[in-house]
Structure 1
Amino acid sequence: MIYGIGTDLCDVRRIARTLERRGERFAERVLGPHELGVYRTRAAQVPLRGLRYLATRFAAKEAFSKAIGLGMRWPMSWRACEVIKAPSGKPGIALHGELAAWFAERRLQAHVTVTDESDYAAAFVVVEQLPS
C-alpha cells in the first residue's frame, strides 16, 4: 500500500549560489557521510558534476521528507537520509539513527529516482507500507 509520494525540483543555480556563500559547510550539512565522500571526489574531478550531485541529493531528501509526511522535522534530518547507488546503478535510500528506527517501526520501504539536466535537478520518491 502506498504510504506517501514526494517530488522535488531543485534549481542547480540556487545550490551553486548557496555553495558560494556558505562553502563546504552547506554540503556537510546536507550530505551524509557516504554522500559527502562521493560529492568531494566528483567536485575535485569536475566541479559541475559535484554541484549536480549535491543538487540531486538535496531534491531527493526534500522529496523523501514529503513522502513520509514529516517535512524536515524530527526524526527526519538531512544527514539521517542518504541516497545510495546499488551495483546496478539504481538509486536507493539508506537511513540512519532515529529516522531508520521510525521508518522500520512503520514497515516502510522507499523507492527513489533522481535526474538532472543543466539548470535543474529533480527527484521522485514513493514510500510504501509493507504488509505485516
Structure 2
Amino acid sequence: MIIAVGTDLVELDRVSRIVSRHGERFLARILTDHELAYCKGRGSSVASIGARFAAKEAVMKLLGTGWGDGVGWRDIEVRNDAAGNPSIEVSGEAARLVANRGIRTLHVSLSHTNQNALAMVVAES
C-alpha cells in the first residue's frame, strides 16, 4: 500500500551557481562519497547532482521533515544498479523515521532536462 509521495523540482542553474560558489564543501555536505563519485563520472554532473538533491528533498517531504529536523542530507542516498536504475537507501534519522512510519520500500524516479531535475519518491508499506 502507498503511504506517502514526495516530489521535488530543482533548477539546474541554481545548482550550478551553488556548486561554483561553494564547490567541494557544498557537495561533501549533501552527497555521500558514493553519490559524489557517481556524479563526477557522469557527462552532466550538474544534472546528476540536481537529481540527487531533488530526491533527498522528496524523501524529506514524504517523511514530513525539513532540513533541520534531524534528517541529514547524507542520511538519504541515491544508488544506481548495474542497469542505471536508481534506488533510495536511508540511514541514521531517516532510517528511524522510515521504520517508525511502517515504510518497507522507497521507489524513486529521477528525470532532468537542460533546465530542471525532478524526483518523485513513493513510500510503500
- TM-score clears 0.5: yes
Name the aligned partner's letter for residue 60 of structure 1: A
Q: Which has the larger radius of gyration?
A: 1
Query: 1:2 maps to what in 2?
Result: 2
* Equivalent-residue separation in structure 1 for 2:39 and 2:59 (angstroms): 20
- Residue 68 of structure 1 contacts residue 127 of structure 1 at CA under 8 Å; is this kept in 2? no
Name the aligned partner's letter for residue 50 of structure 1: S
Unmatched tracts of structure 1, length 5 or more: none
Over residues 77-131 of structure 1, what are the superposed CA-to-partner deviations in whole Å (9 max), with x where a residue is unaligned? Answer: 1111001112343211011223223322433121110001111100111112x2x
* Equivalent-residue separation in structure 2 for 1:99 and 1:39 (angstroms): 22
From the superposition, tell whether residues 88 and 107 of structure 1 become closer, same or farther in structure 2 (CA, over 3 Å). farther
Taking only aligned residues, the RMSD between alpha carbons, in angstroms, comes to 1.6
* Equivalent-residue separation in structure 1 for 2:92 and 2:107 (angstroms): 19
* Equivalent-residue separation in structure 2 for 1:86 and 1:106 (angstroms): 26
- Residue 60 of structure 2 contacts residue 66 of structure 2 at CA under 8 Å; is this kept in 1? yes
Unmatched tracts of structure 2, length 5 or more: none
Q: Choose from 110, 121, 125 the match for 2:117.
A: 121
* Equivalent-residue separation in structure 2 for 1:88 and 1:119 (angstroms): 25
Compute the TM-score of the two structures, normalised by the length of structure 2.
0.89
Instruction: Give aligned pairs, total.
Output: 124
Q: Confirm or deny that 1:50 pairs with 2:45.
A: yes
Query: 1:18 maps to what in 2?
Result: 18
Compute the TM-score of the two structures, normalised by the length of structure 1.
0.84
* Equivalent-residue separation in structure 1 for 2:8 and 2:100 (angstroms): 26
Give the fraction of aligned pairs with identical amino acids, expressed as a percent: 39
Q: 4+ residue stretches of structure 1 with deviation over 4 A? A: none
Query: 2:36 maps to what in 1?
Result: 36
